[in-house]
Amino acid sequence: MHIRVVNPNTTESMTALIEATARAVTGPGVTLDAVTPAMGPASIESHYDEALAVPGLLAAVAQGERDGVDGYVVACFGDPGLDAARELASGPVIGIAEAAMHAATLVGRGFSVVTTLDRTRGRALDLAARYAPAGACRGVYACDIPVLSLEGDPTVRKRVVDLARVALERDGSDVIVLGCAGMADLCAAATAELGVPVIDGVAAATLLVQSLITLSIKTSKRGEYATPPAKPYTGMLLPFRL
């Protein structure tokens, strides 16, 4: 079984963190690799960044199909390009926000998200509306730390944990979802400190993909996720012509 984790941003050190996180949970017999796109933004902190992360992500998935990959993780909490990637892939494709929110609803009654910048809160709420039943996501909190500053800053864990405490209290929630792939390494410590499940989407998505592959459950090709119809592409994006 071959799982590929795509980091939609172009920061290699973040890909490395994501790969280590994913590899730590996969079972025996799983080949897991993580890739950085050949084009796009260094981090994703706006709709603009997100839109421009998608071409690189799609190129990575198209390459994955040529490589015989069985399933994919999209490792950015905004789950960019998920629908388009599903059209390309024959196996399952899971986003980390999707995975984390699914996992959160399996072990609690209501979750709060702790994310990076305030301007990404709306996206997290949109995703919750898409993935989770009404009322399951009780709040989204921003710690105001840019994505690329998460790594190597020793104060991050305390700020995230403190904010999570506020969230649990205000929202009456019982699970915390970490709202950025760059927070994956905080998961165990935060769980211990907070005494509630703290969910990292990278690990969760990896095991969801592994589970679906084991179950031989692939992306449905009836209707909306069928392979896109071929057509002319022009300009810089000519290479994306199917």
Residues 136-155 that bind a second copy (CB under 8 A): 146, 148
**Is residue 15 at the binding interface for a second copy, with CB under 8 A as the rule?**
no
Q: Which is nearer to a second copy, 16 or 148 (CB)?
A: 148
Q: Residue 113: how many CB atoms within 10 A of its CB? A: 32
Alpha-carbon distances, residue 33 vs 3, 13, 71, 143, 167 (angstroms):
7, 14, 11, 30, 34
Q: Which of residues 17-76 bind a second copy (CB under 8 A)?
A: 25, 27-28, 37-43, 45-52, 54-56, 58
The DSSP annotation for 51-105 comes to HHHHHHHHHHHHHHHHHT--EEEE-STT-TTHHHHHHH-SS-EEEHHHHHHHHHH
Q: Provide the minimum distance between the beta carbon of 206 and a second copy in the complex, in angstroms, as a whole number.
A: 9
- Answer for which of 20, 31, 67, 83 binds a second copy (CB under 8 A) is 83
Site for a second copy in 110-129 (CB under 8 A): 117-119, 121-123, 125, 129
178: helix, strand or coil: strand
Q: How far is the CB of 142 from a second copy (least distance, A)?
A: 10
| Smallest separation (angstroms) from a second copy to the CB of 18 | 15
How large is the greatest C-alpha to C-alpha distance in the chain, in angstroms? Answer: 54
Place of tokens 């390309």: 88
| Stretch 90-109 residues interacting with a second copy (CB under 8 A) | 92, 94, 98, 102-103, 105-109
